Structure 1
Amino acid sequence: MPVARAIERNALSLPSSPQKSYILSSHLSTQYEEDNSTDEKNSTKKTLDSPRKHSGSTQKTVTSASAASQSSRRPVNHDVLLPMRGRSNTDVQSIMSTSNTLKQQQANIGGSGSDKAVNHHSHLRSQSPTSPKPKCILPTTTCQPGYVTPSKLFNMMGYGLQNQYLFMLAHYLYIIDCRSKEKFNENHIITAIHWEDALSGAVYISIVERFSEIVLYDEKGIFYNTSTEMRRVSNRFSPPGTKACLTLSGGFEAFRTYFPFVCTQSDIRSTVDREKFLTIYPSVVLDNQLYLGTGHQATNWKVVRDLKITHIINISVEHQCVFTDKIKYLHLELEDMEDVLLKDRFEETIRFMETAFQNSSSRILVHCNLGISRSTTIILAYLMKTYNATLLEAFKFLRHRRPIVSPNVGFLRQLIDYEYTLFSHTYSDPNDPIFH
């Protein structure tokens, strides 16, 4: 396999937003049980400034020591301070006494801010549950290994904020139609290329091989070993020892049933054509029920119409409710700030969703500004209560469908508290690297 493809599979940089920057793994698991291993982030070390009780040589010495510590980026052990040139033993003892006093004060109050919250949740986790937790009933995929469901492919085409799939240079997703040329010309998944063109050199093989995911489909989603065309394409683009191509479960027939608006007769390959014809849709959370997206998607009538949205939960101050004559809204005018008490609106929002879902034709779009923090928090709370899921279970489920989800630290603490409210025990660890 070319080196370029191997390198670019390791990581894929997403477009930066004014709020955050994200790194999306280019390996997209097709199973609900995904690899949750992630690099642990360095914990933030908090220091307390010593009161300015000293003057003269003592104050200068402390300032000098602080500057040296910052320049070398090494933590200072306040328990052991060696005598320095020009410093009297009295000065050293005074500094040690002040440091010990501050540490004792901090221990007496049990920490503050986020430290106190973390200690509180750690204490709750250490206690035994008073009763067994109800079994988590989150929906699981029945897709076989090596296959991808129509909803998963749909989400892959619009992962995250915007344009990974929009431009070929993203080297992210490549879809190959393995049906006859006649059927391809009649209708196909937007941006797909016919298998004959893929093998004939109409598209440079070196470019295709750099794509992180290659998805093949025929009419009904049969296994590629029984299809001559799919086997030829698979052997060409994923030889033994390399990452296998994915097969669309149910084939084009199933995908068109769910997402007819993402199918076309046009042969769309160029960047200009992609900008013109490709619309980025919200992520599917629950098939034909629940979607998570951005404010711009929620104010785009084509998106709302195509997904047959009937209800919208708008958790933002950035976007207005623009389709009030056609859509039923719940508008929570809240900012993405750690001190915003979003948990006070959990029950109200969940009741709104439960009432809507009493009608089987209802479809809900939940959005904030970017579909990352506020809307994610609301959907996590809904999944936790409705499906008896811990925060960790709900988060894994949602991240598999939208990898950029990331509640801010304040919302994460509120979800931990909500977990305790639901189950009388805290099962999830807010310090788990998966949340950060």
Structure 2
Amino acid sequence: MKDWWEQLMHLSDYFHKMGVVLSRVNNSCRVASREPVNTSQTVSSICDREVNSAGSDHSSIMPIGNKACEPEEVLVPACPEIACVERGYITPHQVYNLLNGEEGQPALYDLYYILILDCRSAERYKVSHVVTARAAVTVIHPGLGCLISCTELQKYSIILLYAEEGCSPVGSVKARADSPDLQRCFFQLSALGMDPVILLGGFSAFNALYPFLCTPRMVLLEPERHTLIIYPSEILEGALYQGSVSQASDYRIIKNLHITHVVNATANSPDAFPNTLCYLRLCLSDNAQQDLVEALPLASRFISRALKAEPSGRVLVHCSMGRSRSSAITLAFLMEHRCWSLLNALRWLKERRACTAPNVNFLRQLLTYEEQLFGSRLTCLDDIRR
């Protein structure tokens, strides 16, 4: 128990450190198996078939006794693995979620949400760059210094720099040799009181994972930003995504993210592509009366089976806005199949999707689900309502 508590404290410290970047986002935007319920179409048949019936509705089926809600064995709680990232760097996965962050409206619509500086040559910038990025020479001149006033720079919540490649420690001999312009930019901004971060692996690493978020166009002004596609949050890299019904209905998003399976947790929105994707339809309402006793284990098993599909399953969980119902589904999966407490799962999710906000009714049911999975209550309601 002592070791587990120390791990939890270590995790809390980690999330506090990682919260520096996340707080900027918020400020700028203001394994135990579980048997499925006895339905006419089980989760097994849903995943084994290439296409699921668009009219299937698993939310109205009554549970068969209490056994449907009891795990076959008690899970042992684990902590999320902490990625080792050099000081001053941010991963492509984190940048993806920052670019697609939203709280009320997409964060990128805010001109001062993030300043992205491309520290490569002007020629490479013109070929392609991260969306909304500016050529560094238009902001920081290597010889003359800052071309944007400190007052203006301080308005940005995040300042992101990137070169073509690179992951060496900031200020090291290798880093200065590999990307001198970027290093000059980094220390120049730091000297001005800024706190810039560097894209780990540079443009090449980001472009390899998210080519659809790279463009030869300059997208700087607010009207141009409103034309951008905002993608679902990436909860597990290259595997699990969470978003809104509008994102689930945009085939460009489905295609670019290679989505194969969808959990539709809306009450009234139909499955958008029933002839192409495999769906689990859960007609859920975002209110204090909605019972999740069947939906949580059903969706958890569906997601698990989908992620194991060949060649590579990718799942999108969505409700209307991608905040409450979809969050409850995602949290239940992380708890059951990653063996994380509700507190750890919620911290993980909020770090990747800042607008996560399951209603109090769902939080209470998730606490009950946690107790069923682990045999005891690990999380306090007050801790997760803060």
Range of TM-score over shorter length = 0.7 to 0.9
TM-score, normalising length from structure 2?
Answer: 0.75
Shift in Å at residue 138 of structure 1?
3.0
Q: 1:139 to 1:148 in 2, by over 3 A?
A: same
TM-score, normalising length from structure 1?
Answer: 0.67
**For residue 33 of structure 2, what is the aligned residue in structure 1?**
none
Shift in Å at residue 142 of structure 1?
2.6
**RMSD of Structure 2 on Structure 1 (CA):** 2.4
Shift in Å at residue 283 of structure 1?
0.4
Shift in Å at residue 236 of structure 1?
3.1
**For residue 424 of structure 1, what is the aligned residue in structure 2?**
375
Shift in Å at residue 234 of structure 1?
1.9
Q: 1:336 to 1:134 in 2, by over 3 A?
A: same
Q: C-alpha distance in 2, partners of 1:416/1:34?
A: 26
**For residue 221 of structure 2, what is the aligned residue in structure 1?**
270
CA contact (8 A) 1:293 1:367 kept: yes
| Aligned: 1:192 with 2:192 | no
* 1:358 counterpart letter in structure 2: K
Q: C-alpha distance in 1, partners of 2:352/2:301?
A: 24
Shift in Å at residue 186 of structure 1?
1.1
Instruction: Give 1:349's match in structure 2, choosing from 278, 284, 299.
Output: 299
The within-5 A match list for 1:200-239 is: 200=141, 206-223=151-168, 224-225=170-171, 226=176, 227-239=179-191
**For residue 175 of structure 1, what is the aligned residue in structure 2?**
116
Q: C-alpha distance in 1, partners of 2:19/2:153?
A: 28
**For residue 44 of structure 2, what is the aligned residue in structure 1?**
none
Shift in Å at residue 271 of structure 1?
1.8
* 1:180 counterpart letter in structure 2: S
Shift in Å at residue 199 of structure 1?
2.0
Q: 1:204 to 1:272 in 2, by over 3 A?
A: farther
CA contact (8 A) 1:31 1:143 kept: no
CA contact (8 A) 2:119 2:136 kept: yes
Q: C-alpha distance in 1, partners of 2:270/2:151?
A: 46
CA contact (8 A) 1:284 1:291 kept: yes
Q: Structure 2 stretches of 5 or more lacking a match? A: 1-11, 21-72
**For residue 402 of structure 1, what is the aligned residue in structure 2?**
353
CA contact (8 A) 2:74 2:373 kept: no
Measured against aligned partners, the alpha-carbon deviations of 1:70-129 in whole angstroms (never above 9, x if no partner) come to: xxxxxxxxxxxxxxxxxxxxxxxxxxxxxxxxxxxxxxxxxxxxxxxxxxxxxxxxxxxx
* 1:336 counterpart letter in structure 2: D
Measured against aligned partners, the alpha-carbon deviations of 1:277-321 in whole angstroms (never above 9, x if no partner) come to: x21111000011000101111111111111111111010124221
Higher Cα Rg: structure 1 or 2? 1
Measured against aligned partners, the alpha-carbon deviations of 1:228-279 in whole angstroms (never above 9, x if no partner) come to: 2112222332326x34210101111110011000001112222222223x21
Q: 1:152 to 1:36 in 2, by over 3 A?
A: closer
Secondary structure of the structure 1 residue equivalent to 2:125: helix
| Aligned: 1:411 with 2:343 | no
Shift in Å at residue 389 of structure 1?
0.8
Shift in Å at residue 167 of structure 1?
3.1
Q: C-alpha distance in 1, partners of 2:75/2:275?
A: 43
* 1:421 counterpart letter in structure 2: Q
Shift in Å at residue 322 of structure 1?
1.4
How many residue pairs match? The answer is: 310
Give percent identity, aligned residues only: 32
Q: 1:349 to 1:152 in 2, by over 3 A?
A: same
CA contact (8 A) 1:191 1:269 kept: yes
* 1:431 counterpart letter in structure 2: D
Measured against aligned partners, the alpha-carbon deviations of 1:336-362 in whole angstroms (never above 9, x if no partner) come to: 012211132111111211221122511
Shift in Å at residue 32 of structure 1?
4.7
CA contact (8 A) 1:198 1:205 kept: no
CA contact (8 A) 2:154 2:194 kept: no
Q: 1:158 to 1:363 in 2, by over 3 A?
A: same
CA contact (8 A) 1:311 1:328 kept: yes
Secondary structure of the structure 2 residue equivalent to 1:284: strand
Q: 1:139 to 1:319 in 2, by over 3 A?
A: farther
Q: C-alpha distance in 2, partners of 1:146/1:31?
A: 15
Shift in Å at residue 163 of structure 1?
2.3
CA contact (8 A) 2:79 2:344 kept: no
Secondary structure of the structure 1 residue equivalent to 2:82: coil
* 2:91 counterpart letter in structure 1: T
